[in-house]
Amino acid sequence: DLDNTICSTDKKIKKYSNIYCQEKQIDEEVLWTKDEYKQDFLRLYLEKIYKEAQLKQNCKKVLQELKKKNYKLLIITARRNKYLSVDMETFIYNYFKKRSIIIDGIILDAKDKVDACKEKKVDIMLEDSVYNYNLLKESNVNVVLFDEKNNSEIKQKITNWNQFLEYISKYVKRV
């Protein structure tokens, strides 16, 4: 996954949704429940949000270490080309390139991450969505839940990238 696992997208969404709501004089609830506002907000700010989203702490270090150990890094994301002035796949590759991280592939608009993981024979999937986490787990995909505010009910999760690296090290020893 990409948003809120590799990069902190929510922080930028919060920043720009506050600006937008002030400009339109609406509550944040209205922004996310009224389609006209939501579509307008995404059209105006989504590309900025994606450009400005920062990598999570130690993410770069861990991903670079995994590449040195010959792991393949595949981005499976629900992101799609809508609302952007550029091709999303190119955008993502450039995002990582600018940060000196080499990725091996991207699957966009992944509504069904289970199928994507099985098709690409993914060994470990990092996910922040409880919904996707449960689907992946039920389908016997090795999935790790990244701790975010919306998944507090799940006890087995990691809270940072160093823990993910530890998990991978333990997983490799078991396989």
Helix (H, G, I), strand (E, B) or coil at 109: coil
50 residue type, one letter: Y
Residue 113 and residue 71: Cα distance in Å, rounded? 20
Taking a C-beta distance cutoff of 8 angstroms, is the pair 1, 76 a contact? Answer: yes
Report angle CA 15, 74, 133 to the nearest 5 degrees.
Answer: 65
pTM exceeding 0.75:
yes
Per-residue pLDDT tens listing for the chain (175 residues): 889 899 999 999 999 999 999 999 999 999 999 999 999 999 999 999 999 999 999 999 999 999 999 999 999 998 888 878 889 999 999 999 999 999 999 999 888 899 999 999 999 999 988 889 999 999 999 999 998 666 667 777 888 999 999 999 887 765 4
C-alpha to C-alpha distances, 95 to 100, 101, 102, nearest whole angstrom:
9, 9, 10
Taking a C-beta distance cutoff of 8 angstroms, is the pair 74, 63 a contact? Answer: no
pLDDT at 175: 45
Helix (H, G, I), strand (E, B) or coil at 145: strand
Taking a C-beta distance cutoff of 8 angstroms, is the pair 165, 21 a contact? Answer: no
Taking a C-beta distance cutoff of 8 angstroms, is the pair 80, 108 a contact? Answer: yes
Instruction: Give me the helix-helix angle, 59-68 and 161-174, nearest 10°.
Output: 30
130-141 as b/e, with b when 16 or more CB fall inside 10 Å? bebbebbbeeeb
Model confidence pLDDT, tens digit, residues 101-148: 999 999 998 888 999 999 999 999 999 888 899 999 999 999 999 986
pLDDT at 150: 61
15 residue type, one letter: K
